[in-house]
């Protein structure tokens, strides 16, 4: 039987001593003898006791989870029910590892949603490779501080190789770069902080009123959240009939609005997968001297898919960009790639100064200089490992497969009499409706199928009405299965059966 990467890592830990040299045949297992001068955890053993079996049990649980399919029926439960089943877990004496692991496996984990289930098609789900899942456990075991080169050089080096592939997809200069940050919300905020600082430096002043940023109504909610943090006014630019921000509409908005420091374009909106007119937007941003930020948290992964790469023409002229590998690039939570065409501008905006930081070498690549963060784990390493393991060609194939699935489902919906496709999918989001259903019918149908574990499909709003939405990011999702469920379960006029 093949061992898992986690099992291999655990075995390797027992073969090596803490200095990295090969252990002798009589080497002492991790933390097993508090009197051994070189045993790992000797000093801590007097406080925590021998944690060898605890570590082994936790690693075994991780290995079991990685090697089996998720349960599509897991779902949230009321806190009162969780308390009844789990009890008070934080106590002066502790409940012990066996009991804590039992509670996690039997009570806590089943009260979470299986994001990687092939029939989870709500919001933007996740589909991490097993390589990424396993290596995330490895990364945690090393507990690397990856905020600076001095403390995490190897990890930062590997993360930068993964970022360099994204830079290549963007057709940006090789000098471009950035870091991995928690998620798209923090990524968008960090890019916009850089944009505002750049505008302030260029103009030599703060506006009389508020700074402004421009986007369409389809921009992600995090853009509005970032504007609130920055105390900036949002200039809403009308979208065209296809839901896109265009260069012409942006030109009109910039003529009529002063002190716009950034334009946020979408490379695949969350709600509908729409890609804005990036080339047109870039031309206007260059003309007006305004920073162009591209939010590709979901859709940016499609840069790797030849069939749709042309939709992103113009992105090579953007100033900053984000994409979440935990969405459509098969990585684990939480992982956003934040990139700048000119990283030195981000460093000027984000680098922190303090007496206790003065010893840090500022001439090397320190990830904490590129975003709103200081402490950071090496969150890009699971993505790097999966990408290095499988190669970029397989990544392109996986993304193309999900695009093909979305197109097949869209075509199949046209053939289901009671359903109506709303628009041809741009990327891998499919919007459709069930004429005759009201909001309650949609909610009833969605809730029933979620509890049955058949499909997770959450209603959304599109052009003022409630519709259904499917988001495909998992290569394991089968179009025929999705269409079978939709055809069978949407026939009832009330959505009840």
Whole-number pLDDT of residue 14 = 38
Give the domain range for residue 328: 137-391
427 belongs to a structural domain: yes
Whether 221 and 300 share a structural domain: yes
Question: Do both 28 and 152 map to the same domain?
Answer: no
Position 236 in a domain = yes
Are 193 and 297 members of one domain? yes
Q: What single string gives the DSSP state of each residue in 458-496?
A: -EEEETTEEEEEEE---TT--HHHHHHHHHHHS-STTS-
pLDDT of residue 17: 31
Where residue 482 sits, what CATH number does that domain have?
A: 3.90.1150.170
Per-residue model confidence (pLDDT) at position 347: 96
Last residue of a domain, one of 347, 375, 391: 391
Give the DSSP H or E segment for 431. Answer: strand 429-433
Residue 269, token pair as written in the block: 């909106």
**Maximum alpha-carbon separation in the chain:** 77
Q: Give 155: exposed, middle or buried? Use CB within 10 Å, 0-12, 13-18, 19+.
A: buried
List per-block mean pLDDT (blocks of 10 residues) for the chain, which spans 497 residues: 38 34 33 47 80 95 92 91 97 97 96 93 96 97 96 97 98 98 97 97 88 95 96 96 95 94 97 97 98 98 98 98 98 97 97 83 91 96 98 98 98 98 97 96 95 95 95 98 97 82
Per-residue pLDDT at 40: 60
Query: In the beta sheet, which residues pair with residue 307?
Result: none
At residue 41, the pLDDT reads 63
Q: Which of 404, 426, 421, 489 is nearest to 455 (CA)?
A: 489
262, β-bridge pairs: 213, 291
Cβ–Cβ under 8 Å, residues 257 and 250: no
Query: Do residues 150 and 197 share a domain?
Result: yes
Count the helices and strands in the chain (H runs, E runs): 17, 11
For residue 130, is it within any domain? no
Is 124 inside a domain boundary? no
Is there a domain that residue 463 lies in? yes
**What CA–CA distances, in Å, run from 222 to 299, 329, 342, 431?**
15, 20, 23, 22
How does DSSP classify residue 261?
A: E
- CB-count exposure of residue 404 (10 Å: 0-12, 13-18, 19+): middle
Residue found under tokens 């790992």: 40
Q: Are residues 368 and 228 in the same domain?
A: yes
pLDDT of residue 495: 78
Please indicate, yes or no, if residue 373 is contained in any of the structural domains.
Answer: yes
Cα dihedral 436, 438, 440, 442 in deg (nearest 10) = 60
Q: Are residues 379 and 398 in the same domain?
A: no
Please tell me whether residues 376 and 414 are part of one structural domain. Answer: no
Which of 42, 68, 94 is at the close of a domain? Answer: 68
Q: Is residue 128 part of a domain?
A: no
Burial track 104-116 (b if 16+ CB lie within 10 A, e otherwise): eeebeebbebbbb
Contact in structure between 52 and 32 (CB atoms under 8 Å): yes
Q: Residues 328-342: pLDDT tens digits? A: 999 999 999 999 999
143 plus 190 within the same structural domain = yes
Tokens of 45: 């053993």
Same structural domain, 60 and 150: no
Determine the pLDDT at residue 210: 92
How many domains, the chain? 4
Question: Residue 5: its pLDDT value, please?
Answer: 39
| In 20-118, beta strands by DSSP E | none
Q: Are 180 and 323 in contact (CB under 8 A)?
A: no
In this prediction, residue 372 carries a pLDDT of: 96
pLDDT at 29: 39
* CATH number for the domain harbouring residue 346: 3.40.640.10
Which of 348, 376, 391 is the C-terminal boundary of a domain?
A: 391
Helix (H, G, I), strand (E, B) or coil at 369: helix
Same domain, 398 and 386: no
Q: Is residue 366 part of a domain?
A: yes
In terms of domains, do 147 and 282 share one?
A: yes
Q: Are residue 404 and residue 382 in the same domain, yes or no? A: no
């Amino acid at each position: 039987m093949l061992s898992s990467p986690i099992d291999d890592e655990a075995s390797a830990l027992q073969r090596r001593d803490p200095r990295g040299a090969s252990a002798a045949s009589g080497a002492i297992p991790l933390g097993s003898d508090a009197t051994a001068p070189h045993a790992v955890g000797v000093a801590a053993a007097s406080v925590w006791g021998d944690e060898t079996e605890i570590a082994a049990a936790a690693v075994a649980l991780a290995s079991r989870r990685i090697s089996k399919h998720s349960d599509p029926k897991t779902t949230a439960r009321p806190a009162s029910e969780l308390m009844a089943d789990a009890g008070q877990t934080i106590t002066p004496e502790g409940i012990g590892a066996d009991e804590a692991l039992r509670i996690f496996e039997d009570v806590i984990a089943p009260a979470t949603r299986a994001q990687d289930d092939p029939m989870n098609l709500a919001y933007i789900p996740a589909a991490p490779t097993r390589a990424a899942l396993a290596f995330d456990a490895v990364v945690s075991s090393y507990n690397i501080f990856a905020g600076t080169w001095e403390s995490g050089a190897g990890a930062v080096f590997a993360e930068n190789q993964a970022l360099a592939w994204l830079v290549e997809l963007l057709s940006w200069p090789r000098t471009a770069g950035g870091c991995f940050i928690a998620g798209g919300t923090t990524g968008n905020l960090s890019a916009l902080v850089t944009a505002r600082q750049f505008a302030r430096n260029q103009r030599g002043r703060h506006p009389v009123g508020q700074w402004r940023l421009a986007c369409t109504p389809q921009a992600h909610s995090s853009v509005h959240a970032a504007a609130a943090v920055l105390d900036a006014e949002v200039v809403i630019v009308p979208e065209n009939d296809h839901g896109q921000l265009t260069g012409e509409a942006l030109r009109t908005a910039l003529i009529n609005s002063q002190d716009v420091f950034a334009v946020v374009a979408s490379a695949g909106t969350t709600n509908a997968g729409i890609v804005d007119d990036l080339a047109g937007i870039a031309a206007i941003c260059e003309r007006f001297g305004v920073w162009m930020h591209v939010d590709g948290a979901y859709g940016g992964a499609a840069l790797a898919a030849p069939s749709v790469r042309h939709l992103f023409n113009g992105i090579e002229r953007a100033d900053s960009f984000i994409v979440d590998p935990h969405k459509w690039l098969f990585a684990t939570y939480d992982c956003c790639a934040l990139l700048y065409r000119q990283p030195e501008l981000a460093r000027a905006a984000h680098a922190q100064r303090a007496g206790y930081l003065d010893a840090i070498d500022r001439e090397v690549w320190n990830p904490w200089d590129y975003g709103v963060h200081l402490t950071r784990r090496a969150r890009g390493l699971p993505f790097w490992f999966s990408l290095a393991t499988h190669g970029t060609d397989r990544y392109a194939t996986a993304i193309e497969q999900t695009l093909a699935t979305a197109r097949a489902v869209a075509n199949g919906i046209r053939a289901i009499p009671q359903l109506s496709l709303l628009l041809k999918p741009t990327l891998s989001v499919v919007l459709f409706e069930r004429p005759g259903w009201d909001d309650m019918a949609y909610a009833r149908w969605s809730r029933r199928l979620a509890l049955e574990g058949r499909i997770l499909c959450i209603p959304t709003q599109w052009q003022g009405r409630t519709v259904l939405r499917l988001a495909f990011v998992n290569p394991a999702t089968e179009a025929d299965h999705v269409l079978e469920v939709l055809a069978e379960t949407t026939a009832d006029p009330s959505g009840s059966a």
